[in-house]
Structure 1
Amino acid sequence: MKVLHVAQPVSGGVAAVVADLARDQRERGWEPVVACPREGRLRSQITGLGVPVADWEATRGPGPGTAREVASLRRIIAERRPDVVHLHGSKAGLAGRLAVRGRIPTVFQPHLWSFESDASLAGRLAVVWERAAARWTGLFLCVSADEARDGAGSGIRGRMVVVPNGVDVTGLVPVDIARAKAEAGFGPGPTVVCVGRLAPLKGQDLLLDAWPEVTAAVPGARLALVGDGPLEAELRAHTTAADDSVLWLGHQDAPHRYLAAADVVAVPSRAEGMALVPLEAMAMGRSVVAYDVGGIRESLGDTGAVLPPADVPALARAIITRLDDAQLRDDEGTRARQRAETLFDRRRMAAQVAELMEELVSDG
């Protein structure tokens, strides 16, 4: 089976999912290829797996260059002659379906519908596009029941199948937190960790708004922000130069070592498809507090705190409660690990996707 994965964006959870699928398909004896921009972390991940990469230069959003991106992708498809095309993210979904137009079995995986994150005219136009492009989509692959519900509720008609995201539950395991804190360079005090791109959707501004209440209630608490992005300067303005309770760690190639060092993992996102960070934290047996956006309740179940979206006081209270109660953290972490093993193993995710692709190609 020849599978062409087309990806934009090329970092974060999307890149991790693409890499997991390409790895699994290569191990199956299939021939996966990934088309993505040269710049970005996905390319290095894929080449490290021995999977071929095709240069596809594309920006994150639609614009004057979209026609060129469609033409470039059409050439890649003609050269690679895939049996199935798997489009990851809204930009790949736009360019890919315009390039293929249903001539090859096509899977579109939104990783969060673009209209869910954009209330502007562009977001409304995205709904119109998705409804029209459904005729060129053999399968909508949704990472959570929330994502499938949002698509159907927006009038998008087509076959939608939910395959929850998965993580490496064999590599991500609970470790001694005191040792993990020392290895991460943290002190032994109460520690909250937030991993994510510094961007509006990830909600670090909401977490920083809640943080003064946390430090007032839990003296010595530290907040570690792992990630980089366009809002870094603006987010830093939430704190003063004298406030050393917030650690700005930037991009890290191994963010899991910081999740391992967390007493509490905070996920203050405004929107998600199904975020990988909570799943990774769960696999490592850590307590998670998160807003009730796409896929979060489905991920955490009763293993952590699921809060009203953008509720800053509720976020502060949930963090304080867990920093003050080690038994609660430990109990949540134990249940979270069990839930991750049962429901969110990346091997199960990849196997489900492979089965769906075989079915789609057979039917086509």
Structure 2
Amino acid sequence: MSPVSSNAPHGQSPLRTVQVLGGGNAGSSAHVRSLAEGLVARGVRVTVCAPAEADRAYDFTGAGADHVHVPRSSDPGSVAALRAACADADLVHAHGLHASFRAVLALSGRGTPLVVTWHNRARAEGARAHLLRLLERRVVRTAAVVLGTTSDLVDRARRTGARDARLAAVPLPGRRRPADHDDPDRLWPKIRAELGATGRPLLMAVGSLDPQRGYDVLLDAARTWRDLDPVPLVVVAGEGPLRPVLQRRIEDEELPVRLVGRREDVPELLAAADLALLTSSWESRSVLAQEALHARVPLVATRVGGIPDLVGDAAELVPYGDAEALADVVVRLLADPDRCELLRERGTRQAATWPTEDETVAQVLSVYDELTQPQPLA
């Protein structure tokens, strides 16, 4: 096994790492893309094992990595394909529970170090929940290092039996920002007019339309906002299985809510908003929360998972599932521009404390160093 070095000494091969992704979760895929680019720039050879559609969406090859198509975990050939891809790897780094479990199986009988990053908490009920706990235990007890994106994920890994669990540095994924030449005074009114929010507050929520996001609670709160003058417009950017149910409620109850589907201009939509809303039952390092603070948009979020650590005092936090508390906080903020400005200032300061992409790559490289460089004799 060759020693790791960002610039391999003469006569030594550069470190070869394999990054393993599962179904292409947006947060973990964006993180791997950023990580691959940073590692390649430091002389590390990177192979990304992921479904072909993930490479099309995140362009791992454009970051300088090799891409190997590995089917999703439901495909019986996925472990064999991953085992072949990892044959000459110095180190394997898997992202997410299912990708990590496949990596454990693929590396069985080999001495290749395995690093695991948990980006989110796997959730299930009944027999499937028991199965997920068994998978978690197998993964964390096999991995040399488990990196958790939040402190509660690190604690969970330690309780499950991890030999070494640490807090991961994870930057805001590199999503396109409005160009410097874009004039907000011209851009934002155009966006607000398109959405139907001219002359009324615009409240933005972003995320897939699934039960975890708490959009049923958001619609409950929106009933209260119908009594305001002017009536705020809630815009939800995202797609998912709950769209028919949510749309039916919006129409039946005449709620001031629009579902706009997947959008490529989320940063612009968010920057044009008066408030950002995050109503999830659990989040790790929420991209919406990070983008809201970066864009100086006051954030109202649920006090769950990694949100409190992520935002500090730069957001208004409410209990999950409490529609009344959510509605009340929004009403207060819409009537209190001074409080909104304070949250904007705090958001700017809080965002400055988050890790950069360079810092994230440096942390990961230091872990790789520990696991691949020969240790001095005592």
Please give the TM-score of this superposition, normalised by the length of structure 2. Answer: 0.85
Q: Secondary structure at the match of 1:35?
A: strand
Give the whole-Å Cα distance in 2 for the aligned partners of 1:108 and 1:290: 28
Larger radius of gyration: 2
Residue number in structure 2 paired with 1:98: 105
Give the whole-Å Cα distance in 1 for the aligned partners of 2:63 and 2:229: 44
Residue among 45, 70, 75 paired with 1:31: 45
Residue number in structure 1 paired with 2:220: 209
Does the C-alpha gap of structure 1 residues 44 and 113 become closer, same or farther in structure 2, counting only changes over 3 Å? closer
TM superposition shift of 1:300: 1.0
Amino acid at match of 2:118: P
TM superposition shift of 1:176: 7.5
Residue correspondence of structure 1 range 52-67 to structure 2 within 5 A: 52-59=66-73, 65=75, 67=76
Residue number in structure 2 paired with 1:87: 94
Residue among 362, 368, 375 paired with 1:351: 362
Tell me whether 287-296 or 227-236 shows the greater mean CA deviation: 227-236
TM superposition shift of 1:159: 0.6
Amino acid at match of 2:278: V
Amino acid at match of 2:77: R
Residue among 122, 127, 132 paired with 1:121: 127
Does the C-alpha gap of structure 1 residues 355 and 220 become closer, same or farther in structure 2, counting only changes over 3 Å? same
Amino acid at match of 2:133: V
Identity of aligned residues (%): 25
Amino acid at match of 1:89: G
Note the alpha carbon deviations across 1:333-356, whole angstroms, 9 max, x for none: 111111111224333223222222
Please give the TM-score of this superposition, normalised by the length of structure 1. Answer: 0.88
TM superposition shift of 1:327: 1.9
Give the whole-Å Cα distance in 2 for the aligned partners of 1:346 and 1:317: 37
Residue correspondence of structure 1 range 126-205 to structure 2 within 5 A: 126-153=132-159, 155-167=160-172, 179-184=186-191, 185-186=194-195, 187-205=198-216
Does the C-alpha gap of structure 1 residues 215 and 84 become closer, same or farther in structure 2, counting only changes over 3 Å? farther
Residue number in structure 2 paired with 1:233: 244
Instruction: Tell me whether 1:77 sits opposite 2:59 in the alignment.
Output: no
TM superposition shift of 1:204: 2.0
Give the whole-Å Cα distance in 2 for the aligned partners of 1:73 and 1:304: 42
Give the whole-Å Cα distance in 2 for the aligned partners of 1:266 and 1:132: 37
TM superposition shift of 1:168: 6.3
Residue among 114, 119, 122 paired with 1:111: 119
Residue number in structure 1 paired with 2:8: none
Instruction: Tell me whether 1:219 sits opposite 2:230 in the alignment.
Output: yes
Note the alpha carbon deviations across 1:155-194, whole angstroms, 9 max, x for none: 3332111024312699759998654532433425211111
> 5+ residue gaps in structure 1?
none
Give the whole-Å Cα distance in 1 for the aligned partners of 2:212 and 2:222: 18
Instruction: Tell me whether 1:22 sits opposite 2:22 in the alignment.
Output: no
TM superposition shift of 1:291: 1.0
Residue number in structure 2 paired with 1:311: 322
- Answer yes or no: is the 8 Å Cα contact 1:265–1:287 preserved in 2: yes
Does the C-alpha gap of structure 1 residues 111 and 148 become closer, same or farther in structure 2, counting only changes over 3 Å? same
- Answer yes or no: is the 8 Å Cα contact 1:191–1:264 preserved in 2: yes
Give the whole-Å Cα distance in 1 for the aligned partners of 2:203 and 2:361: 31
Give the whole-Å Cα distance in 2 for the aligned partners of 1:50 and 1:43: 15
- Answer yes or no: is the 8 Å Cα contact 1:8–1:58 preserved in 2: yes
Give the whole-Å Cα distance in 2 for the aligned partners of 1:170 and 1:123: 33
Does the C-alpha gap of structure 1 residues 143 and 312 become closer, same or farther in structure 2, counting only changes over 3 Å? same
- Answer yes or no: is the 8 Å Cα contact 1:172–1:283 preserved in 2: no
Amino acid at match of 1:360: L
Please tell me the root mean square deviation across aligned C-alpha atoms, in Å: 2.6
TM superposition shift of 1:85: 1.1
Residue number in structure 1 paired with 2:77: 68
Tell me whether 252-261 or 236-245 shows the greater mean CA deviation: 236-245
Give the whole-Å Cα distance in 1 for the aligned partners of 2:310 and 2:214: 18
Does the C-alpha gap of structure 1 residues 53 and 307 become closer, same or farther in structure 2, counting only changes over 3 Å? same
Amino acid at match of 2:53: E
Q: Secondary structure at the match of 1:265?
A: strand
Q: Secondary structure at the match of 2:226?
A: helix
Note the alpha carbon deviations across 1:92-119, whole angstroms, 9 max, x for none: 01111111136211111121231xx223
Give the whole-Å Cα distance in 2 for the aligned partners of 1:204 and 1:255: 18
Q: Secondary structure at the match of 2:241?
A: coil
Q: Secondary structure at the match of 1:5?
A: strand
Does the C-alpha gap of structure 1 residues 204 and 42 become closer, same or farther in structure 2, counting only changes over 3 Å? farther
Amino acid at match of 2:98: K
Amino acid at match of 2:322: D
- Answer yes or no: is the 8 Å Cα contact 2:222–2:255 preserved in 1: no
Residue number in structure 2 paired with 1:283: 294
Residue number in structure 1 paired with 2:6: none
Note the alpha carbon deviations across 1:202-221, whole angstroms, 9 max, x for none: 22222122111123235331
